[in-house]
Amino acid sequence: MVAKVLSGTETAKEVRKALAQEVLDFKTKNPSFRPKLVIVQVGGREDSNVYIRMKVKAAGEVGVEAEHVKFPPTVTESELLTGVEKLNADPSVHGIIVQLPLDCTNKIDAGKITNAVSPLKDVDGIHIENAGRLAHGELEGFFLPCTPRGCLELIQKTGIDISGKHAVVIGRSKIVGAPMSCILRTVNATVTVCHSRTKDVASFTRQADIIVAAVGVAQMVKKDWVKPGAVVIDCGINSIPDPSTARGSRLVGDVDYEAVKEVASWITPVPGGVGPMTVAMLIKNTVISAKREVVGSLKNF
């Protein structure tokens, strides 16, 4: 079997196109509708700059205003908290994200900052209140975190019925693995979560109908870890040396793509898989937030 490629680039393009139309239609009926996202950055890490540029570009394509608010690396925790509170209080702002990791010289508790963002504007879906609702089995009325939400859309795109399937999520981070396992459980998959203390991860993945890898270990998931016909979603973004490229490195996922492709039914590439979906879901959450201000309720699906 050779897996079909689940293109995040293509799916994200479709999502952005539908969102652009939605924004246009909504604006026609509500001329004052102006969805706005604010991206808060501390310092100037080059990788963060790249991600921020992608978010600003995607927002522009959909008709969402995106403002990049920069703080110097010398900012203090209380100054940053004041900045976030100002954005919370600004009615023209519908979504706020704090680009992580913080590039700061002072000690700043990143969790304190992300939890200072109003849960009503937490379009990253990582505020503890939103995470708690997800952990309680809710999927509506609050923001879902962007990467797992994007993974769900990709899994749904395959057409498989997730209900009753065995899903194995490798990783339990706050932004990817943990919320992914909650979402899959809520849509009625039977979920196993593997992490760094799991003994023999492969023994679990071999039983999986759906594998979501969110580890940060280059090409960890091998061909013999995958049951023939499984759907494989790769969140990983890892740079490995590659002397054949101009920059001497290339990006790979947490899955040994070329080999696993021979056994899976569907597989996401890296790059061009989960990454573009994460950005598309951020913009989707911002549009949902802005619409909620007008219609008074939030609908994810």
Q: Which residue has the tokens 């963060």?
A: 48
Distance between CA atoms of 178 and 260, rounded to whole angstroms? Answer: 24
Compare residues 43 and 269 and give the one whose CB is closer to ligand NDP: 269
Q: What type of residue is 138?
A: E
Compare residues 106 and 238 and give the one whose CB is closer to ligand NDP: 238
Active site residues: 55, 99, 124
What is the closest distance, in whole angstroms, from the C-beta atom of residue 215 to ligand NDP in the complex? Answer: 4
Residue with the closest Cβ to ligand NDP?
A: 173
Kindly state the tokens that stand for 274. 């989960």
Residues that bind ligand NDP (CB under 6 A): 147, 170-173, 175-177, 194-198, 201, 214-217, 235-238, 274-275, 278
Q: What type of residue is 116?
A: A
| Helix runs in the chain, H state only | 8-29, 46-62, 77-89, 110-114, 128-135, 146-157, 177-186, 201-205, 257-260, 274-295
Q: Are 258 and 36 in contact (CB under 8 A)?
A: no
Kindly state the tokens that stand for 190. 């039977």
What is the closest distance, in whole angstroms, from the C-beta atom of residue 26 to ligand NDP in the complex? Answer: 27
What is the closest distance, in whole angstroms, from the C-beta atom of residue 118 to ligand NDP in the complex? Answer: 22
Compare residues 48 and 278 and give the one whose CB is closer to ligand NDP: 278
Distance between CA atoms of 282 and 97, rounded to whole angstroms? Answer: 9
What is the closest distance, in whole angstroms, from the C-beta atom of residue 270 to ligand NDP in the complex? Answer: 8
Other Cβ atoms closer than 10 A to 26: 17
Compare residues 12 and 75 and give the one whose CB is closer to ligand NDP: 12
